[in-house]
Structure 1
């Protein structure tokens, strides 16, 4: 079964290829598969709906994104784009501004806000305030039907008919526009203006104007009453607006200033390592004014005191409060990172990793990323150490040996791998696996395993021999000879030369194949000329001691046997024999 992340990646690929319907399908599956509500998935699906101009669905997803993570700036961009698509310019403007409050450098929000302001300006610059342009929208009827402000009005067939008439002939709406309150309300919705219409029963009849049939005094009385009523309503509106734009109460500013002073005093005590006193001041600061920074500072003091579980509790509360207060996501990231630090001190690596990942989701910093990678590495080592079991290792070794005897090399490799995991310091596991790999002709891997075995036990002669055999198989003759020299020295030291015969055979084989002629009919002169091109052969023949030994052996061949008791001389003579310089009968 695919995970939410896999569905998300497939959705991203579809979106890149402009397959928005396919992307929606994958993001929907990712949302269902996600163990917790994921704001990014709703944001991505909203973007797909916007690309398909399905703005109502886009708005629904965007609002869900903001509800899950109200401190994520990008979510407000999604809401703004959907509102803009629905023609709700005022709402779109608010959302883009909210995004910029959370992220002042957000390029998309800046561009969106400029576009909204540009459209608003262009409407008022046009002679008909942009109304004619709005009626050119082919999706006008559909958008208005989905607009909650005028959805009921759009159920009236006569209203739909009027709008279609204005679409074909915008100039025809002039006379009707001023005389039809319902049409005015629809127009207000199109312009994104919240226009509160009075009750139709309060509107004056068409014949109720100065000069119409009826008592003049009655008309004047009605006009005075209407003016008085309008004046009263105007005063109420002004009073309401005044309340809406009131400045924050001075007391709130004083509380914030007092809290900041308490925090500053707490920081001084923190630096002096007077943590209890610092915590008391941070608590006072929080009680005076709600700022999550005070809780983060309190947790830092608790952390320094070694009270890691208490710090976790404080930071968990800080995150909850931050969500309610819509605190900057960078501060939330810091809270999560400090929870991770506390779990690390408690040696709970899985939890530490979980909260470092949450911190990076909010805000990515190199410091937290390095801590996450370090924890993941330590957790892997911890699991490897927990897996070590000598008894299980021995069972795996015997099982591997049984498979090896039966010539089931893949199963042998599998069993020896299990042995290595159960006993990583035992060189036999690496050496035995190398033998099985050699049977499978995986010589590079075989050489690596031999190196690991030698690293674990430098006197493990069998590992040297297996390594040299593999090196010969891949035609690394010079390296094989060097490995055999080391094997001979170790064998003499720890085994009294018990493996000397096997080492000599490999030595001869490496040298023989090293100087193997390409032409089977090669003459002695040609062999000598080819051998002299080898730097090692040339160096041996130019050695004065070797020149003396070779000269003496021509007079007395038996003397050569005496000289070959010296390992260094033996090696050089073997090289010359393999090169064809010295021929034996």
Structure 2
């Protein structure tokens, strides 16, 4: 057997010892075995890749990157399979990611995919792209500039220049995406331009940021009314009244919705209410309601029972029954 062949098998044996040490997390021992494998067979990309894996686990990312680059060079010089070259390139990308160098991470992950499109690397690439986008958005945030754009938007709105106001409010939200009032203001602009789905989207976003912001529910109700979704508008007005019982716009809007609903709409809305369903599903309550139809005077007696009175009041509020 030639010296070259002997070294080949000796290198394989060192690699196996290195793999066993790696699995046992005996990293210095693994490095020693992989180093010996490289000395015996310096043209095998796998040994460099394995050595780089140890450096990665140790958090020695600069050495990991350096060793992976050597692996790529050795692989290209010896016409290694594309998959073998792709692996150290991906590891370089992951090492840069650990160092929060997102641009280089993406660069080398893309290089890896140009050699071989591994599903794990594809997923990691998408994650890094998302991180880069989030980082760019965070870097763009500036509350002071957001306020300036908000004020510009308010000025344009007052002048009736709604597209310009939308542009200013949009820029404001890029600078401060957590300002519920700006979403509310942009919703109003879209409503003025009859873009009700967009106005509704902003109203929902406004409420998501601040669930107690009454104006957000008023914007939402306005959109639903314009889209002829009366029951949804009524629900939005109800939510507004939960947070501000004296809000005149919500009071007037709720009354308008109630008056415009057909009996069928009222019934459908009521029947979708779990509490109403529970009341009507109670055999005792059904008997009481039947008795009230036949003997209206029986109502006074039933109202003496607080539990029954509460259920009757719920049915009155839902519009299912009316007292004369």
Larger Rg: 1
Residue 502 (structure 1) aligned with residue 249 (structure 2): yes
Q: What secondary structure sits across from 1:475 in the alignment?
A: coil
On the 8 A contact 1:532/1:538 being kept in 2, the answer is: no
Say which of 81, 100, 113 aligns to 1:360.
113
Per the TM alignment, residue 287 of structure 1 is displaced from its structure 2 partner at its CA by 1.8
Q: Distance in 2 between matches of 1:473 and 1:332?
A: 60
Per the TM alignment, residue 343 of structure 1 is displaced from its structure 2 partner at its CA by 0.7
Give the aligned partner of residue 34 of structure 1.
none
Give the aligned partner of residue 340 of structure 1.
93
Say which of 321, 332, 340 aligns to 2:74.
321
Deviations 1:92-113 (A, max 9, x none): xxxxxxxxxxxxxxxxxxxxxx
Q: Distance in 2 between matches of 1:474 and 1:428?
A: 23
TM-score of the pair, normalised by structure 1 = 0.47
Gaps (5+ residues) in structure 2?
A: 277-285, 298-312
Residue 266 (structure 1) aligned with residue 13 (structure 2): no
Q: What secondary structure sits across from 1:273 in the alignment?
A: coil
Query: What is the Cα-based RMSD across aligned positions, in Å?
Result: 3.0
Q: Distance in 1 between matches of 2:8 and 2:261?
A: 85
Give the aligned partner of residue 261 of structure 2.
514
Give the aligned partner of residue 65 of structure 2.
312
Q: Distance in 2 between matches of 1:533 and 1:382?
A: 48
Deviations 1:355-409 (A, max 9, x none): 1111111111111111111111122112111211111111111011011011111
Q: What secondary structure sits across from 1:364 in the alignment?
A: coil
Deviations 1:461-494 (A, max 9, x none): 00001100110000111111111111111113xx
Give the aligned partner of residue 37 of structure 1.
none
Q: Distance in 1 between matches of 2:269 and 2:105?
A: 62
Q: What secondary structure sits across from 1:334 in the alignment?
A: helix
Residue 378 (structure 1) aligned with residue 110 (structure 2): no
Q: What secondary structure sits across from 2:244 in the alignment?
A: helix
Per the TM alignment, residue 439 of structure 1 is displaced from its structure 2 partner at its CA by 0.7
Q: Distance in 1 between matches of 2:193 and 2:171?
A: 18
Q: Distance in 2 between matches of 1:532 and 1:270?
A: 72
Give the aligned partner of residue 212 of structure 2.
459
Q: Distance in 2 between matches of 1:257 and 1:276?
A: 22
On the 8 A contact 1:312/1:342 being kept in 2, the answer is: yes
Say which of 248, 252, 255 aligns to 2:7.
255
TM-score of the pair, normalised by structure 2 = 0.82
| Structure 2 CA distance for partners of 1:403 and 1:570, relative to 1, 3 Å | farther
| Structure 2 CA distance for partners of 1:537 and 1:271, relative to 1, 3 Å | closer
Query: Which protein, 1 or 2, shows the higher relative CO under an 8 Å CA cutoff with sep ≥ 6?
Result: 2
Give the aligned partner of residue 423 of structure 1.
176
Q: What secondary structure sits across from 1:391 in the alignment?
A: helix
